[in-house]
Chains A and B, each alone.
Chain A
Amino acid sequence: MKDRFKRVGGLSAVVGFSVIAFAAAAQDTGVTDTTIKIGLVQPFSGPASAYSQIAYTNEAYINMINDNGGVCGRQIELITYDDGYSPPKTVEQTRKLVESDQVFLIFNGLGTPTNSAIHDYMNIKEVPQLFVATGASKFGDPENFPWTMGWQPNYIAEGKIYARYILDNIDDAKIGILYQNDDYGKDYINGLRAGLGDKADDMIVMEQPYEVADPTVDSQIINLKASGANVFLNVATPKFAAQAIKKAAEIGWEATHIVNSVSNSVGSVLKPAGFENAVGIISANYGKDPQDPQWEGDPGLQKWSDFMDKYYPDGDKTSSFTVFGYGVTQTLEHVLKSSCDDLTRAGVMKAAASITDFETDTALPGIKINTSATDFYPIEQMQLMRFNGERWELFGDVIDGSNATN
């Protein structure tokens, strides 16, 4: 009798387990009833360690989520590793996260070479590589890489936005381009060409490349002026962008000067170039600049500021990195919340690919995140701004880089 009891007990236990197993079927590796495990690999050390503020902000934001009860009734467990911006180390650390720590997804990896190194791996393993922190356009290719998605506007979209502006505002534009001779520079040119459409060959009068190893870009600027261009698209990284601004002013080249968003920092580009040389320069942005007085009392940026005070007091409140980290983690929170019913890797990718009109606290008003099964570029809108000698002033409407062609 006792034996039979035992057996019945055992049987019901088995049934019970299988019920639980059944109920938990809509969960994947890295997800339990109480936790979601997420991995992150960023350069905490090495030449790019300045970016680690982004990782610390990601971490702080997730602490805030957990303090507020987590998502889908689960606490998020974030595991962070350092790759020192070295691609082999990124592969090692990512494999550790996926195979050893068994994370649910990898979030906000930073850098183009580092993310390229794990691009194939993540897609073969079918683990989401979500919201990579790079603007390279290759990370939004749902057909070949359905498990990888970027976040920030990609360089092609930004190039299209400038094309839109030039077509609408400048009659008889002759465009001269300074660009860094790599993928980043070429993405911009491709975007601009796509945006200009058939007129591209007529309008672009000169393209001048520079190498990262070049000491200056002076000769390129002189050539560009000599070409008779009246629009100057400056696709350079901060140091070279500053040199270009200074040189253009020095030789008295009066062209409509557009600086790419990579180099629109007031502190590290416009100041060394000289504010008087930078007046009237145009650029594009998608996030709010915490130093811009027009955002005083802005509820979104106030939330960011309160968050910084409470969860990341050591963080730099003047840095765009902390704003970036906040926005991208808020997007992750949104995606996780919308995949509560289907907390699988596929479910999360599906949620990430069906964001509609989501606005983060730190994005400029009107900039909405939209994705679809064929559109893996979350932010594609930007707003133009002009430097008035002290700070950037936004102007015009938000422009969408995805359909800026015509």
Chain B
Amino acid sequence: MTVQQEEVSAVEARQEQQARSVSAATISSLVVLAALVLCPFFISGFQTFQLNLMLIYAIAIMGLNLLTGFNGQFSLGHGAFYAIGAYTAAILIDTFGVSYVWTLPAAGVICFVSGFLFGLPALRLEGVYLALATFALAVATPQMLKLSILEHWTGGVQGIVIRKPKAPFDLPLSQDQWLYFFTLFVGLLLYWAARNMVKSRSGRAIMAIRDNPLAARSMGVNVALYKSLTFGVSALFTGIAGALGAIVIQFVAPDSFTFVLSVALLVGLVVGGVGWLPGAIVGGAFIVFVPNIAEEISKGLSGAMYGLMLILLIYVMPTGAGGLIRTVTDRLTRR
């Protein structure tokens, strides 16, 4: 066997391995998808509602992941965009009688613009400084929502109550099931968009900025524009999640969007895996279910239990669920 032949066969083997892992990935995503589609038919309305919340948080985390995981910009303030999306939906439904379906694009656009605008001044800030600036956004949001000038729209501290939509076309689905599938559909659409974006030229530019901004600039990437755009797109995702959240919870109030929400999203991102889009589902599940488990163990010490579980989890899978899955599949394929 000549050197060339060896190289060819090595390349073939690698391609084969890649193909195998790709098909494994496809199969597992299909299994997860099938499970998500079938679940609501076997569980109670309340559990469907919980799963729905999980999906909504997953969408928000996906948005944060685009910014933090792929573009390397930290945000402790995504709860603010979630809140803006939620309030956009609630105000449109409550004051203007808009159908809930159309509130999503509206929330997306408004959040994209606010994210983009916030991204512009944030360009000067890096790492922890950016985290601090976004944290300020998260802390300020609940108070802004209480402002008396906006009260006519936001309902002040009282918040806004909205009615839950029914399934259209006489579909034999309960309200919970319908909203769940609606969220799932929106989530898949957004996942598809995010995946394509990450795999595109723009996606490579975004990641290049994360890995080496100088090199990216010398390659001709407009760093400032891409960073602001990523901020906008990230806010768009989170804002749509917020709008879905408002529709499913049927209520928005300033107390729903404290900085705790922003921190929860960041925790979900890290648990799911930074820079791995499907990890958002795991992160969403963590946000919804782990506090309940912690509470079940000890009510008085639920916060401590939550912390303990978080530490354990990070110890077991330091790179989140994404990293864990990658390590496991690597081991299996090597054998």
Q: Which A residues form the contact surface with B (CB < 8 A)?
A: 44-47, 80-82, 84-89, 91-92, 95-96, 98-100, 111-114, 116-117, 119-121, 181-184, 209, 211-213
Contact = CB atoms under 8 A, between A and B. Distances in A.
Interface residues of B, number: 36
B260 A86 contact: yes
B23 interface: no
Contacts of B254: 113
Interface in B32-57: 44-47, 49-50, 53
A88 B256 contact: yes
A345 B251 CA distance: 25
A44 B302 contact: yes
A273 B303 CA distance: 34
- Which 8 pairs, one residue from A and one from B, show the smallest C-beta to C-beta distance? A99-B46, A113-B253, A117-B251, A182-B157, A95-B46, A113-B255, A87-B256, A213-B143
Given A113-B256, A120-B161, A181 B143 contact: no
B299 A86 contact: no
Contact of A99 (B44, B158, B299): B44
A91 B251 contact: yes
B245 interface: yes
A385 to B, nearest CB: 28
Nearest to A213: B143
A182 B249 contact: no
A120 B147 contact: no
Contacts of A120: 161, 163, 250-251
A113 B46 contact: no
16 contacts: A47-B258, A84-B260, A85-B255, A86-B258, A89-B291, A91-B250, A92-B50, A113-B255, A116-B159, A120-B161, A120-B163, A120-B251, A182-B146, A182-B157, A183-B157, A213-B143
Given A95-B45, A95-B46, 8 more contacts: A84-B291, A92-B49, A113-B253, A113-B256, A117-B250, A182-B156, A182-B157, A213-B146
B200 interface: no
Interface in B130-145: 143
Interface in B91-111: none
Interface of A is mostly: helix
A184 B156 CA distance: 11
Contact of A183 (B147, B156, B300, B302): B156
B329 interface: no
B253 A117 contact: yes
B245 to A, nearest CB: 7
A315 B11 CA distance: 71
Interface of B: 44-47, 49-50, 53, 143, 146-148, 156-159, 161, 163, 245, 249-256, 258, 260-261, 288, 291, 295, 299-300, 302-303
A85 B257 CA distance: 11
Contacts of B143: 212-213
Contacts of A80: 299
Contacts of B148: 181, 209, 211
Nearest to B253: A113
A88 B158 contact: no
B251 A96 contact: no
Contacts of B157: 112-113, 182-184
Given A87-B249, A116-B158, A212 B146 contact: yes
Nearest to A138: B158
Nearest to A181: B148
Contacts of A213: 143, 146
A99 B176 CA distance: 12
Contacts of A91: 249-251
A38 to B, nearest CB: 16
Contact of B46 (A100, A181, A182): A100
Max chain B C-beta neighbours (<10 A), residue from A45, A81, A95, A114: A45
A89 B49 CA distance: 12
Contacts of A121: 250
Contact of B159 (A81, A87, A209, A212): A87
Contacts of A95: 45-46, 49
Given A92-B50, A117-B251, A45 B302 contact: yes
B250 A88 contact: no
Contacts of B249: 87-88, 91, 117
B85 to A, nearest CB: 14
B46 A87 contact: no
B260 A211 contact: no
Contacts of A117: 159, 161, 249-251, 253, 256
Contact of A86 (B158, B159, B250, B256): B256
